[in-house]
């Protein structure tokens, strides 16, 4: 680990993003390592490479998808206005943790419309934290809608 840190420090000092990515990607033992490489790419002005690393981490993680990797992909796709892809990743995250809070977490995505389209009103309305009679009512009262 010390050798990796020393090599990364030298590569960063030299501004060699390719070498820095190569050094950081030697150990891809967990989703957090893919996220580390992805964030490193974004930090050094290569957001498209960062997104590729995050998606690779999601693909290679199998069933144990890191939620932070999903967050990274959602944010990246929202920044480049690819809302369908952002929605797909937000949906995967919601399926991992199906709560109303999770559904409303992503303000740019119309949560009530997505839930209606996918027929989840009954499932989501039974949330332990909120017990609305209708998802639409809950959506109207969500923090993102109160501000507008």
Render pLDDT for 14-30 as a digit per residue (tens, 0 to 9).
777 888 888 888 888 88
Ordered domains of the chain (ranges, CATH): 1-96 (1.25.40.10), 98-148 (no CATH)
pTM, entire model: 0.66
Q: Residue 20, class by beta-carbon neighbours within 10 Å (0-12 exposed, 13-18 middle, 19+ buried)?
A: buried
Model pLDDT, residue 147: 43
- Cβ–Cβ < 8 Å for 36, 20: no
| pLDDT for the residue 118 | 59
Is 90 exceeded by the pLDDT of residue 57?
yes
CB 57 within 8 A of CB 34: yes
């Amino acid at each position: 680990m010390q050798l990796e840190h020393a090599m990364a420090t030298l590569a960063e000092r030299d501004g060699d993003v390719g070498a820095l990515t190569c050094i950081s990607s030697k150990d891809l033992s967990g989703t957090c390592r893919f996220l580390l490489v992805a964030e490193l790419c974004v930090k050094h002005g290569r957001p498209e490479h960062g997104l590729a690393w995050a998606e690779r981490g999601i693909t290679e993680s199998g069933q144990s998808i890191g939620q932070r990797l999903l967050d990274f992909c959602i944010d990246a796709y929202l920044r480049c206005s690819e809302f369908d892809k952002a929605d797909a990743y937000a949906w995967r995250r919601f399926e991992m943790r199906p709560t109303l809070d999770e559904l409303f977490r992503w303000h740019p995505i119309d949560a009530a419309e997505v839930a209606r389209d996918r027929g989840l009103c009954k499932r989501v309305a039974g949330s332990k934290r909120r017990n609305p009679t209708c998802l639409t009512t809950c959506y109207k009262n969500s923090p993102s809608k109160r501000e507008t």
